[in-house]
């Protein structure tokens, strides 16, 4: 038997440019040959010499996989029948270990035996995380930091980066107040910040920026700095966390062109199957109003109701029974409407198309790299008659060059343009306008083609004329925005240990919006056209804002090792200036209804302006020290000044300290190291400032304005009284304490990270205590209140590879969970008024009454000895018998036994019959991410939700309350009649029908019976992809080609008592008065790399 020694090298894995290259040549054991049998076999062991079972071994010819098998329980593999003379390579991969790729060698006329030694993967240990003004190895982190790579954000048919990040990072809470195509996410890190609000700071490529301006496809990584230790380097703006977004950079190599697209259709997540029976809706609204005000809402007579009844089953208009008839009313011929019209689907688009195209070109040589990308996205909105549409263009050019051996210069240009064009008026508050007065019995268009507006039977306006304006189509507007940003960055390597980075960034933003209103005609009397009174002005107004923003940064880093001691020192200076300028101009009575330019105006003109600026500067420093990689210490500090406070209060010093201990590196831990690969505990404490106050909060500003009082035949110009200002206004201070634990186990397949934190916001700017009204102004803002937020984050991840039908199956799953609660610890409210914050208040607490059911009989209602007048205000002014409590009215529980239901003195000590019935803050926010890839197929599943959130529906949520709130609710749930109490339906959900009682009476007082739990779990995303095998792509001269299908928000499970309401929307916009969410999106796309 001949023994041949073969040297095999582990091939260095191509890694990110910042990876330290680990060049460890592994000398492998002997390889034996067994005469003529021509097989290759071998054993795979770990670095301790123990055999590894289940290692995936592939035979490669010219880098393409021929066959794959797995090692047995002794770590042995064997390939037979390999052709003599061919050149093979072998690839060994095993989760938790670094891949091993052998050198190519020809099979001689003999068999061989290999011994492969695999080294535990350093990947998770070597992972580098972006931190403030630098990068750090993940294992050395001592603060609470989570990083996500850009690849986790792909395939999502959503409009912006914030949407893709929602639910992916524990306690990075993102929500959207509106479904408008240009809506931008509200960001929050770790819950309650300050009662004045407080957003996290977003840094894009090292400079404060806006997440919404970044094309998600350009993102290399997103890092969230959560605690004071991680974010205090950003001082006055890092108080509520920092989000660092790093964009992609070109890699040296031949030019790589990638193109991807996505075509999607969006629709509503909540039901839109509303009542379309004209008769039923009118009778509900009228009955409700008769009992409250004694008058009919619609004004339909008994004869009209007969007509409606005749048509009750006409889904389509029957020519024998037209939906609009001409009748003489009050001496005049007019249209009378008897429809069963589906207004929702007339006004709103059921399927809203969107598409997305991105192309990137990247590459370079060893000195210079480039990354160029362009994106285009278009999305239609929900309007049906004349769809609104947004268009977004993004461009990025990043060129980096090593000018000398020690100097590297990068230029990074970002261009963003967004246009949103809409028809109709500019009321984006999506007010009551949209869901009132569009009863199914009314029609949008008269038989002669003119548009409707008044019914003539009551004084209300059909749909408030929104559809009239839309149908006429001449009123329109646009919201445009351009952002241009350039960052020049130079890094000088002064010596082996010292480097200095300086960068300058200039951003220019231009916002232009215009609105054109024209006079809108309608008809009630056949042949007579009138102008809609609310749309009776012909006006063009233009608004323009430009923003200049300059940022200078200069910082140096010193890094060295002294035996077991590693030291890193960084210090820098930052300075920023921001200034805006606004102009608004308007002109009335234009010469054309179709052209929109101020030059065409002939009537009244108006011009206003405005300008603001702020500046800040700061000195910052960080020291990192570790001993043998076991004991980690980090100190941060920043001395910050802002223009927003007056001299003397302007500067603040914000320090933090954090420490970590990697137990897994200790000798005593060795017995466990087979199971636990990495174990670290961390702790941090730090103090930060919050400068998120007005630009001139300390100056009593007197503004000029005009009012409608006419003096000398012009609008009166005046200078207003300044607000009351406290002389001692200064920074809100935020201290934060964090305890964390990171574990990687079972060959790094399982990773767990837990953080507990407490954040104290001290000296919150608030109006101080409620002052007597005789003060005559809003009480001045003072640093008078404290808040404490406690919470936790948990992240558990698992990834592994298995074999399925002879092919490797890689899968991963990650579960995240976070929670927080906030409590007021100081507030000047000596009487503990519930109308204000009080000490000990848990933020979000809902005070309300208790209801124990309906009165079932008149006798029971009459005999009721508790006075409910306080909560039954509406009843007191009701007509006739409805002035009295009726069967079907709600019975309130007299908690304090004083025989009267009221709020006492509305104080903590005397809340009357109220108690805390729930809490409106979201609890237990979670996300589950699962990925699976096999034989070219990949599946991604993403679930997201919240565990508990109480919500008391405000009166504006008409799809919940129907005519119980307003007697002119348009979009009634289909089953609404069945939900109302009647003697025949004594177990109904809602009480006896009375209008306005959810607006200003019993149902408008929060109570346990109608309190909703918004808890939901939502299949946020499901995507299925297939990548063409290399054998095919090679023929097509492609590097990669993948097709995918993706669905957003496909399934929602919720505890909410209404299918017409989206729990996620209500959690953000409790009154639902927002542009509806169309977040269910079906899409497909392709990803091609040349």
Partner 1 sequence: MYQYRLLFYFIIILMQVGCKKDFLDKQPLSSLAPETFFHTESDLRLYTNSFYSVMPTAEEIYYESEGCADNTAVTTMTVAVRGARVVPTSGGGWTWTELRKINFFLDNSFRAENEDVRKRYEGVARFFRALFYAKMVQRFGDVPWYSHALDAKDEEGLLRPRDSRVLISDSIMADLDFAVAHLPATKSIDQVTKWTALALKSRFGLFEGTFRKYHTEFNLPGYEKLLEACADASKALMMAGVYAVYTSTPSKAYQELFAFENANPTEIILARVYDASLSVFHDVNFHTLSASYGRPGMTKSLVNSYLMSDGTRFTDISRYDTLQFYEETRNRDPRLAQTIRTPGYTRMGETRPVLPQLSNSITGYQIAKYVTEPTKDAANRCSNDMPVFRYAEVLLNYAEAKAELGILTQEDIDISIKLLRNRVGMPNMNLASANAAPDPYVGNEYKNANGANRGVILEIRRERRIELYRENFRFNDLMRWKEGHLLAAPFKGMYFPRLGNYDLDHDGTIDLVLYQGTKPTMPNPQPQFVMYGDIELQNGAQGGNIITNPLIDKKFVEAKDYLFPLPTQELLINPGLKQNPGW
Q: How far is the CB of 306 from partner 1 (least distance, A)?
A: 11
DSSP H helical ranges for 832-955:
858-863, 873-876
According to DSSP, the residues that pair with 189 across neighbouring strands are 172
**Which 880-939 positions form the footprint of partner 1 (CB under 8 A)?**
880, 883, 905-907
Task: Identify residues 559-588 at the interface with partner 1 (CB under 8 A).
Answer: 573, 575, 588
Applying CB under 8 A, which part among 274-282, 352-360, 719-727, 933-941 lies near partner 1? 719-727
Q: What is the 3-state secondary structure (H, E, C) of 1005-1022?
A: CCECCCCEECCEEEEEEE
Q: Which one, of 531, 399, 512, lies nearest residue 453 by Cα?
A: 531
Asked whether position 726 contacts partner 1 by CB under 8 A, the answer is yes
Please enumerate in sequence order all residues whose Cβ is within 8 A of that of 335, keeping only pairs 6 or more positions apart, or say none. 324, 325, 326, 446, 447, 452, 456, 523, 524, 525, 526
Decide if residue 839 touches partner 1 (CB under 8 A).
no
Alpha-carbon separation of residue 870 from 919, 996, 1001 (angstroms): 24, 15, 8
Distance CA 661, CA 746 (A): 20
Q: Residue 79 or residue 460: which is nearer to partner 1 going by CB?
A: 460
In angstroms, what is the minimal distance from the CB of 736 to partner 1? 26
Q: How far is CA 61 from CA 65, 102, 319, 575, 729, in A?
A: 7, 12, 76, 57, 73
Placement of tokens 């009174």 in the chain: 533
Query: How many residues does this entry show for the chain?
Result: 1090
User: Using the rule CB under 8 A, which residue among 258, 724, 866, 979 binds partner 1?
Assistant: 724
Interacting stretch for partner 1, rule CB under 8 A, among 252-260, 305-313, 458-466, 818-826? 458-466
The β-bridge partners of 639 are 619, 653
Question: Using the 8-state DSSP alphabet, how is residue 657 labeled?
Answer: E
Among 331, 527, 563, 648, binds partner 1 (CB under 8 A): 331
Q: Is 546 in the site for partner 1 (CB under 8 A)?
A: no
Q: Of residues 1025-1054, which lie at the interface with partner 1 (CB under 8 A)?
A: none
Distance CA 396, CA 415 (A): 6
CA 412 from centre of chain: 26
For residues 699 and 1032, which CB has a smaller minimum distance to partner 1 in the complex?
699
Q: What is the smallest separation between the CB atom of 859 and partner 1, expressed in angstroms?
A: 23
For the chain, how long is the longest CA-to-CA vector?
119
- Alpha helices (H) in 75-169, listed in sequence order: 123-126, 161-165
CB of residue 323 vs partner 1: minimum separation in angstroms?
22
Within its chain, how far is the Cα of 233 from the centroid?
A: 25
Among 330, 449, 527, 648, binds partner 1 (CB under 8 A): 330
Q: Which stretch binds partner 1 (CB under 8 A): 233-241, 287-295, 997-1005, 1016-1024?
A: 287-295
With binding defined as CB under 8 A, does residue 717 bind partner 1?
yes
Looking only at residues 298 through 317 of this chain, which bind partner 1 when binding is defined by CB under 8 A?
Answer: 299, 301, 303
Q: Measure the CA–CA gap between 470 and 477, rounded to whole angstroms.
A: 12
Which segment (386-394, 704-712, 793-801, 939-947) binds partner 1 by CB under 8 A?
Answer: 704-712
Quote the least distance from Cβ 873 to partner 1, whole Å.
8
DSSP SS3 for 887: coil
CB of 335 to partner 1, least distance (A): 16
* 289: enclosing H helix or E strand: helix 278-293
- Among 23, 320, 671, 709, indicate the residue that binds partner 1 (CB under 8 A): 709
Structure tokens at 574: 């930052």
Radius of gyration of the chain (CA): 34
**By the 8 A CB rule, do 1075 and 1030 touch?**
no
Which residues, at least 6 apart from 1035, have a Cβ–Cβ distance to it below 8 Å?
A: none
Among 197, 610, 853, 1029, binds partner 1 (CB under 8 A): 610
By CB under 8 A, is residue 715 in contact with partner 1?
yes
770 binds partner 1 (CB under 8 A): yes
Q: Which of residues 630-649 bind partner 1 (CB under 8 A)?
A: 641-643, 647
Which CB, 584 or 754, lies closer to partner 1?
A: 584
279 three-state secondary structure: helix
Q: Which is nearer to partner 1, 355 or 643 (CB)?
A: 643
Q: Which of 48, 599, 704, 865 binds partner 1 (CB under 8 A)?
A: 704
Phi, psi for 800 (deg, rounded to 5): -165, 165
Selected from 696, 838, 847, 934, the binder of partner 1 by CB under 8 A is 696
Q: Quick count: other Cβ atoms within 10 Å of Cβ 1031?
A: 8
The verdict on 612 binding partner 1 (CB under 8 A) reads yes
C-alpha distances (whole Å) from 93 to each of 97, 99, 797 are 7, 5, 20
Stretch that binds partner 1, among 55-63, 235-243, 711-719, 732-740 (CB under 8 A): 711-719
- Of 870 and 971, the one with the shorter C-beta distance to partner 1 is 870
Minimum distance of partner 1 from residue 807's CB (angstroms): 54
Q: Please report how close the Cβ of residue 528 comes to partner 1 at its closest, in angstroms.
A: 12
Structure tokens belonging to residue 530: 């009138």
Coil, helix or strand at residue 518: coil
Question: How far apart, in whole angstroms, are the C-alpha atoms of residue 1000 and residue 956?
Answer: 11
Please, which of residues 774-813 interact with partner 1 by CB under 8 A? 774-777, 779-780
What part of residues 389-448 is at the interface with partner 1 (CB under 8 A)?
A: 406-407
What is the rounded CA–CA span in Å between residue 920 and residue 643? 36
Does residue 719 interact with partner 1 by CB under 8 A?
yes
Which is closer to partner 1, CB of 36 or CB of 405?
405
User: Measured from the CB atom, is 218 or 539 closer to partner 1?
Assistant: 539
Which of 353, 521 has the CB closer to partner 1? Answer: 521
Does position 527 bind partner 1 by CB under 8 A? no
Q: Which of 126, 530, 1030, 1089 binds partner 1 (CB under 8 A)?
A: 530
Q: How far apart are CA 2 and CA 112, in angstroms?
A: 10
Q: Give 670's contacts (C-beta < 8 A, 6+ positions apart).
A: none
Segment interacting with partner 1 (CB under 8 A) among 101-109, 712-720, 1043-1051, 1062-1070: 712-720
3 state DSSP class of 306: helix
Burial class (CB in 10 A: 0-12, 13-18, 19+), 1037: exposed
The answer to the question of residue 616 lying near partner 1 (CB under 8 A) is yes
Interface pattern 972-1001 for partner 1 (x via CB under 8 A): ------------------------------
Q: Are 441 and 338 in contact (CB under 8 A)?
A: yes
Among residues 771, 839, 908, 988, which is the contact residue for partner 1, using CB under 8 A?
771
Identify the residue whose tokens are 């007065």: 437
728 binds partner 1 (CB under 8 A): no
849 to 878: interface string for partner 1, x by CB under 8 A: ------------------------x--xx-
Q: Which is closer to partner 1, CB of 564 or CB of 720?
A: 720
295 binds partner 1 (CB under 8 A): yes
Site for partner 1 in 52-91 (CB under 8 A): none
Q: What 3-state DSSP class applies to 502? A: strand
Answer yes or no whether residue 618 interacts with partner 1 by CB under 8 A. no
The residue within the footprint of partner 1, chosen from 20, 604, 858, 1053 (CB under 8 A), is 604
Interface pick for partner 1 out of 53, 397, 413, 534 (rule CB under 8 A): 534
Nearer residue to partner 1 within complex by CB, 992 or 1074: 992
Total of residues contacting partner 1 (CB under 8 A): 96
CB 542 within 8 A of CB 602: no
Cα separation of 357 and 373, whole Å?
11
Candidate residues 1, 3, 21, 710; the one interacting with partner 1 per rule CB under 8 A: 710
Tell me which residues in 351-370 interact with partner 1 (CB under 8 A): none
Choose among 1005, 1003, 1004, 1006: nearest CA to 992: 1003
Beta strands in 381-451 (DSSP E): 389-402, 407-423
């Amino acid at each position: 038997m001949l023994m041949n020694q073969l040297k095999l090298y582990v091939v260095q894995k191509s890694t990110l440019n910042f990876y330290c290259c680990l060049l460890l040549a592994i000398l492998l054991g002997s390889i034996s040959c067994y005469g003529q049998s021509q097989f290759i076999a071998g054993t795979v062991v770990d670095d301790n010499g123990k055999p590894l079972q289940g290692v995936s071994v592939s035979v490669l010819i010219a880098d393409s996989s021929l066959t794959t098998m797995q090692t047995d329980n002794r770590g042995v593999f064997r390939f037979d029948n390999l052709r003599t003379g061919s050149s093979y390579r072998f690839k060994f991969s095993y989760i938790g270990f670094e891949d091993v790729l052998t050198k190519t060698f020809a099979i001689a006329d003999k068999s061989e035996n290999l011994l492969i030694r695999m080294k535990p993967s350093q990947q998770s240990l070597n992972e580098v995380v972006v931190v403030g003004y630098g990068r750090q190895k993940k294992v050395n982190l001592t603060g609470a930091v989570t990083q996500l790579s850009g690849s986790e954000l792909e395939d999502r048919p959503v409009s912006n980066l914030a949407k893709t990040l929602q639910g992916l990072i524990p306690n990075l809470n993102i929500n959207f107040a509106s479904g408008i195509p240009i809506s931008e996410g509200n960001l929050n890190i770790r819950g309650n910040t300050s009662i004045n609000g407080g957003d996290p700071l977003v840094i894009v490529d090292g400079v404060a920026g806006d997440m919404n301006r970044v094309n998600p496809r350009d993102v290399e990584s997103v890092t969230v700095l959560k605690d004071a230790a991680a974010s205090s380097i950003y001082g006055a703006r890092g108080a509520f966390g920092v989000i660092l977004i790093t964009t992609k950079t070109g890699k040296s190599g031949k030019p790589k062109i990638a193109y991807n697209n996505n075509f999607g259709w969006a629709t509503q997540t909540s039901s839109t199957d509303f009542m379309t029976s004209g008769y039923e809706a009118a009778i509900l609204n009228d009955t409700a109003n008769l009992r409250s005000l004694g008058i009919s809402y619609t004004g339909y007579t008994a004869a009209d109701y007969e007509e409606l009844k005749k048509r009750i089953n006409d889904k389509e208009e029957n020519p024998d029974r037209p939906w609009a008839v001409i009748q003489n009313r009050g001496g005049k011929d007019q249209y009378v409407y008897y429809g069963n019209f589906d207004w929702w689907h007339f006004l709103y688009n059921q399927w809203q198309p969107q598409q997305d195209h991105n192309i990137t070109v990247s590459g370079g040589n060893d000195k210079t790299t480039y990354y160029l990308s362009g994106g285009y996205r278009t999305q239609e909105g929900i309007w049906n008659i004349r769809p609104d549409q947004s268009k977004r263009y993004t461009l990025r050019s990043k060129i980096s060059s090593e000018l000398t051996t020690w100097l590297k210069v990068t230029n990074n240009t970002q261009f963003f343009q967004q246009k949103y064009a809409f028809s109709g008026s500019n009321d984006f508050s999506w007010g009551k306008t949209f869901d009132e007065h569009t009863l199914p019995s009314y029609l949008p268009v008269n038989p002669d083609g003119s548009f409707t507006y008044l019914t003539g039977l009551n004084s209300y306006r059909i749909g408030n004329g929104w559809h009239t304006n839309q149908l006429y189509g001449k009123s329109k507007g646009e919201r445009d925005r351009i952002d241009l940003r350039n960052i020049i960055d130079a890094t000088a390597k002064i010596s082996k240990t010292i480097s200095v980075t300086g960068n300058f960034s200039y951003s220019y933003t231009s916002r232009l919006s215009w609105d054109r209103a024209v006079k809108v005609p309608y008809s009630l009397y056949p042949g007579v056209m009138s102008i809609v009174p609310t749309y009776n002005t012909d006006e063009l107004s233009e608004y323009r804002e430009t923003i200049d923003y300059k940022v200078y940064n200069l910082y140096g880093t010193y890094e060295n090792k002294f035996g077991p001691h590693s030291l890193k020192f960084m210090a820098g200076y930052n300075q920023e200036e921001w200034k805006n300028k606004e102009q608004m101009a308007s002109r009335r009575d234009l010469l054309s209804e179709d052209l929109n330019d101020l030059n065409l105006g002939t009537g009244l003109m108006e011009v206003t302006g405005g300008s603001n600026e702020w500046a800040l500067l700061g000195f910052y420093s960080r020291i990192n020290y570790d001993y043998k990689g076991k004991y980690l210490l980090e100190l941060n500090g920043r001395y910050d000044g802002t223009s927003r406070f007056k001299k003397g209060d302007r500067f603040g010093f914000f320090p933090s300290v954090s420490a970590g201990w990697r137990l897994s590196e200790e000798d005593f831990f060795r017995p466990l190291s087979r199971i636990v690969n990495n174990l670290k505990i961390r702790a941090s404490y730090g103090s930060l400032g919050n400068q998120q106050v007005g630009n001139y909060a300390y100056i009593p500003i007197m503004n000029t304005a005009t009012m409608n009082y006419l003096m000398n035949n012009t609008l009166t110009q005046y200078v207003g009284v300044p607000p009351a200002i406290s002389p001692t206004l200064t920074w809100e201070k935020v201290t934060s304490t964090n305890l964390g634990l990171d574990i990687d186990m079972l060959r790094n397949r399982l990773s767990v990270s837990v953080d507990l934190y407490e954040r104290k916001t001290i000296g919150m700017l608030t109006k101080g205590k409620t002052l007597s009204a005789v003060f005559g102004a809003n009480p001045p803002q003072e640093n008078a209140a404290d808040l404490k937020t406690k919470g936790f984050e948990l992240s558990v991840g698992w990834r592994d590879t298995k074999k399925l039908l002879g092919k490797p199956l890689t899968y991963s799953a990650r579960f995240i969970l976070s929670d927080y609660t906030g409590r007021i610890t100081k507030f000047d409210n000596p009487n503990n008024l519930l109308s204000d914050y009080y000490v000990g208040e848990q933020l979000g607490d809902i005070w309300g009454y208790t209801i124990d059911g309906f009165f079932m009989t008149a006798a029971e209602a009459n005999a009721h000895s508790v006075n409910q007048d306080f909560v039954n205000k509406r009843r007191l002014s009701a007509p006739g018998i409805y002035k009295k409590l009726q069967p079907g009215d709600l019975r309130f529980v007299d908690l304090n036994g004083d025989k009267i239901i009221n709020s006492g003195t509305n104080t903590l000590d005397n809340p009357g019959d109220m108690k805390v019935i729930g809490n409106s803050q979201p609890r237990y926010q979670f996300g589950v991410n699962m990925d699976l890839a096999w034989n070219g197929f990949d599946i991604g599943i993403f679930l997201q939700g919240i565990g508990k959130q109480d919500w008391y529906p405000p009166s504006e949520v008409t799809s919940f309350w129907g005519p119980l709130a307003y007697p002119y609710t348009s979009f009634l749930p289909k089953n609404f009649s069945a939900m109302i109490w009647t003697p025949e339906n004594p177990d109904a959900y809602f009480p006896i029908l009375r209008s306005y009682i959810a607006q200003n009476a019993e149902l408008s007082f929060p109570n346990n019976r109608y309190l909703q739990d918004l808890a939901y779990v939502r299949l946020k995303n499901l995507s299925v992809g297939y990548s063409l095998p290399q054998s095919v792509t090679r023929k097509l001269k492609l590097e990669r080609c993948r097709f995918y299908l993706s669905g957003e928000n496909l399934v929602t499970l919720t505890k909410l008592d209404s299918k017409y309401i989206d729990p996620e929307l209500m959690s953000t916009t409790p009154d639902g008065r927002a542009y509806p969410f169309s977040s269910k999106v079906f899409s497909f796309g392709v990803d091609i790399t040349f």
